[in-house]
Chains A and B, each alone.
Chain A
Amino acid sequence: MSAATIFGLCAAAAVGLGLYGLITNPQPLRKILAFNLLGSGVFLLFGVVARRGAAAGFGGDPVPQALVITGIVVAFSATALAVALLLRLFQASGSATLRTPASAGTDPADA
């Protein structure tokens, strides 16, 4: 079994673990964390495909590698936005639950 296959199976397991955490953990911050785990598994699958495409003296296909770099940065910006939304929810409602919608749309601190 080649190194690329071992890491490919590892990536598949990371996607499964991330999906499980995303569904079952009630805390939004843990959901964000699980989603990042899921995403890193997807990126790693790209990396495996890139490694298998090694040719022309390169250790891997540079096109999927470049796509992953772009993907990591975009995933980070989405994570930052999600965390900012969560902190704002906490400021506005005093809790971080996703279960019940906040009783009113207005922010008591702004009133």
Chain B
Amino acid sequence: MTVASALEIVLAALVLGVAVWTIAARETFAAVAGFVAYGLLLALVWVRLDAVDVALTEAAIGGGLVGVLLLGAAARLRTTEAPVAVERPGEFLRLVAALLSATVAAALAAAVLFLPDPAPTLAPAAAANAAATGLGNPVTNVLMAFRAMDTMLEKIVLLLALVGVWSLARDRFWGGHPGPRHQADPRGMLAFLARLLAPVGIVVGIYVFWTGKDHPGGAFQGGTILAAMWLLVMMAGLTDAPPVTQRWLRMVLIAGPAFFLLVGLGGLGLGAAFLAYPAAYAKPLILAIEVAMTLTIAVTLGLLMAGAPERSAER
């Protein structure tokens, strides 16, 4: 056994151990804390799988944003935990569920063990067409050019989710500030951290976006870091989430998908196909779309985390 494979076995065992903890833990808080650790360990797994772009996304979203979202919800739902916990299904149902889950897991394990060899791959095709965009990162090439339709539709899914969250506001709070107002000691640790970390984090976020054209990184990862910095400043009480009816906010929210759609239609109008970039302008166009998308992703993720409007705009 080589050193590398020992490391991988230990890592897989750790990931599974934390996964069991998130399901078995009695307290929701403990389970969510386990899930954050799970997300970070999973990011290491992605690095071992040579997918650094995915590792960055998993660490930022799976470990970071989902953890903060669920911790906040767990704190607000703490009083409901004990009464609902007694509704645990009976032993028979649990046994059936365990059998079903074990069967699904075994079928997937068998599928993994009997994957076709040699594995089918699109990597040579991605390498052969890399020159068309002039970008060095193959994952960015796939996201922004070869499968640009997926990426554009995903932006629209994000917007739809935000519309869904906002539509849960009570009538009298419509148009107000999302979520509860966060209060923190202005001389406390959190406010200090928010002042210290946010400027650095914003630079890191922009760097991760910019380097994504040739190296691991990109609009998603950079946008998520920017969203996290915005959240940190909001949670420290240094700023408030803006009322959801503000016009500038709506403009930023649609900037990414709207510009993407416009370029896509331009490709159609110039004769090639929907979302076909003119060869000479492929790189600048992709970068321009990514700038708009990074802003939109940062604001959309931040507002998804803030939740439905809960306070009227006047206060």
Contacts and interface: CB of A to CB of B under 8 A. Distances in A.
Interface residues of A, number: 85
Contact of B112 (A26, A36, A48, A95): A48
A102 B39 CA distance: 35
Given A7-B48, A19-B100, A44-B45, A96 B80 contact: yes
Contact of B51 (A18, A33, A65): A65
A83 B45 contact: no
Contacts of A16: 101-102, 104-106, 108
Interface string A47-72: 11111111111111111011111101
Contact of A95 (B48, B50, B84, B119): B84
A62 B88 CA distance: 43
Interface residues of B, number: 99
Contact of B76 (A33, A55, A79, A90): A90
Nearest to A58: B123
B22 A70 contact: no
Interface in A58-111: 58-63, 65-70, 72-74, 76-81, 83-88, 90-91, 95-97, 99, 107, 109-110
Given A51-B49, A54-B121, A68-B51, 12 more contacts: A8-B113, A12-B111, A19-B101, A26-B87, A43-B54, A53-B120, A63-B123, A63-B126, A63-B147, A66-B139, A83-B69, A88-B308
A75 to B, nearest CB: 8
Interface string B148-176: 00110010011001101100101110000
B23 A59 contact: no
13 contacts: A4-B49, A6-B5, A7-B8, A10-B16, A26-B85, A53-B121, A61-B119, A69-B143, A73-B158, A77-B157, A77-B161, A83-B73, A87-B77
